[in-house]
């Protein structure tokens, strides 16, 4: 179901990187970024699909960290499946935002700056600052919604998940439509694209999945299917283009990195997405020569959603990330809650009719019970 705001037609002609994109057009554009020291011009590759019918304008971006390329493949596969004749609204795809890092197989820009700490940037600042500014001006400025694709940092892999500001009803609706294995209302990082989109009140999902410098088929599949469901939820494509979500999404309400207590060889005992219980051994770190080893145990019940992929660890290295997930309410619990609500309403109505303003007993009891029946989101 589309929200009211997503039905707004683009008010102005769509001009990206100086090129006009008409309704019903698919255009491949090169937005000039800068010249390399060799004099070679470097550009930001963008594909714009503008449907014949009006609708939201969405950007898809990947490789803001130049070595995080699963999203590059996700965007390629999404674009291949869309038809501008039936698309409502427009899609602006930037599969390689940090063009420098992508070429160098690096997270960073040539000056070692992290692009995702330099938003909103400026036209006259550092290279990172200029690229951030260009991306906002040429792409984000046209958009009503966006998805930014990432992976774990070097030598770490992430369970495919969405990070987003779930307190925002529209963001939550879209995250649920995306239906990844896990959603996480993680804190926004200062200078990130997500933080800047939030400041501009643009609903954004941040996708995380897999590790740098790889195309992981399972991660790409989650990303492609989720993006199509996201577009269907915005009524940009027909729901049948997207596959129905087959899994229940877990919601992380807290997360903690578990660090290596000693240096050594890592032997994981768990895999990404696995549910673990408090006290369960998650990994061993052993001495390479002797049989001595130290265990890493789960400090709480949770789900492993990030893991080191290299067997060599130093003391203090982040090895595993555990998410505490919201307890799912069973159908029975939901029915009971609904019954209670109806009963409460009946008591309230009765009290009103009787001309009293005092809280009914059931409501008073609930007010005293500070702890919510379902975990906070």
Binding site for Zn ion (CB under 5 A): 65, 68, 150
272 in Cβ contact with 304 (< 8 Å): yes
CB of 312 to Zn ion, least distance (A): 22
Among left, alpha and beta (phi > 0; psi -120 to 50; other), residue 97 is alpha
Nearer to Zn ion, 65 or 163 (CB): 65
Alpha helices in 200-354 (DSSP H): 217-233, 331-353
CB of 64 to Zn ion, least distance (A): 6
CB of 361 to Zn ion, least distance (A): 52
CB of 152 to Zn ion, least distance (A): 8
Q: Tell me the C-alpha distance between 146 and 139, whole Å.
A: 10
Nearer to Zn ion, 174 or 193 (CB): 193
CB of 189 to Zn ion, least distance (A): 10
Nearer to Zn ion, 57 or 98 (CB): 98
Which residue number has the CB closest to Zn ion? 150
SS (H, E, C) 313-359: ECCCCEEEEEEEECCCCCHHHHHHHHHHHHHHHHHHHHHHHCCCCCC
CB of 16 to Zn ion, least distance (A): 24
What is the end-to-end Cα distance of the chain in Å, rounded? 23
**Cis (ω within 30 of 0) for the bond into 120?**
yes
Give 148's DSSP letter.
E
- Beta carbons within 10 angstroms of residue 34's beta carbon: 13
- 273 by Cβ neighbours in 10 Å (0-12 / 13-18 / 19+) ranks as middle
Nearer to Zn ion, 69 or 242 (CB): 69
CB of 148 to Zn ion, least distance (A): 8
Nearer to Zn ion, 21 or 69 (CB): 69
156 in Cβ contact with 307 (< 8 Å): yes
Q: Tell me the C-alpha distance between 15 and 18, whole Å.
A: 6
CB of 212 to Zn ion, least distance (A): 8
Q: 93-120: string of b/e by CB count within 10 Å (b at 16+)?
A: bbbbbbbbbbeeebbbbeeebbbbebbb
Nearer to Zn ion, 64 or 231 (CB): 64
Nearer to Zn ion, 114 or 274 (CB): 114
CB of 143 to Zn ion, least distance (A): 20
Nearer to Zn ion, 68 or 165 (CB): 68
78 in Cβ contact with 243 (< 8 Å): no
Nearer to Zn ion, 48 or 131 (CB): 131
Q: Tell me the C-alpha distance between 1 and 173, whole Å.
A: 10
CA distances (Å), 284 to each of 44, 77, 288, in order?
44, 39, 12
Count of residues in the chain: 377
Nearer to Zn ion, 47 or 192 (CB): 192
CB of 45 to Zn ion, least distance (A): 19
Q: Tell me the C-alpha distance between 185 and 206, whole Å.
A: 10
């Amino acid at each position: 179901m589309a929200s009211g705001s997503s039905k707004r037609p683009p008010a102005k002609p769509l001009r990206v990187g100086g090129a006009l994109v008409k309704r019903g057009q698919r255009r491949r554009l090169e937005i000039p970024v800068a010249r390399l020291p060799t004099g070679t011009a470097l550009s930001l590759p963008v594909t714009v699909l503008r449907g014949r019918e009006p609708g939201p304008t969405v950007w898809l971006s990947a490789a803001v960290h130049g070595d995080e390329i699963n999203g590059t493949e996700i965007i390629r596969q999404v674009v291949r499946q869309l038809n501008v004749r039936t698309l409502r609204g427009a899609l602006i795809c930037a599969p390689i935002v940090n063009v420098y890092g992508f070429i160098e197989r690096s997270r960073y820009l040539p000056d070692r700056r992290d692009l995702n700490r330099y938003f909103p940037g400026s036209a006259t600042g550092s290279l990172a600052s200029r690229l951030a500014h260009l991306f906002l001006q040429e792409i984000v400025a046209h958009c009503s919604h966006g998805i930014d694709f990432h992976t774990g940092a070097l030598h770490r892999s992430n369970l495919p998940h969405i990070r987003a500001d779930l307190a925002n009803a529209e963001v939550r609706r879209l995250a649920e439509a995306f239906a990844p294995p896990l959603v996480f209302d993680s804190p926004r990082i200062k200078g990130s694209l997500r933080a800047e989109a939030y400041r501009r009140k643009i609903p954004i999902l941040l996708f995380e999945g897999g590790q740098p410098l790889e195309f992981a088929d399972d991660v790409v599949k989650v990303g492609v299917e989720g993006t199509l469901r996201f577009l269907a939820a915005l009524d940009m494509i027909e729901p049948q283009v997207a596959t129905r979500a087959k899994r229940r999404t877990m919601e992380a309400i807290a997360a903690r990195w578990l660090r290596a207590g000693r240096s050594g060889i890592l032997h994981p005992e768990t895999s990404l997405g696995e549910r673990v219980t408090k006290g369960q051994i998650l990994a061993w770190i052993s001495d390479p020569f002797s049989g001595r080893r130290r265990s890493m145990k789960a400090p709480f019940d949770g789900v492993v959603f990030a893991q080191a992929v290299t067997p060599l660890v130093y003391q203090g290295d982040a090895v595993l990330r555990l998410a505490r997930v919201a307890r799912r309410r069973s159908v029975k619990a939901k029915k009971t809650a609904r019954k209670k609500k109806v009963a409460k309403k009946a008591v309230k109505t009765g009290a009103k009719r009787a001309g009293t303003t005092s809280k009914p007993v059931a409501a008073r009891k609930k007010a005293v019970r500070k702890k919510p029946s379902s975990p906070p989101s």
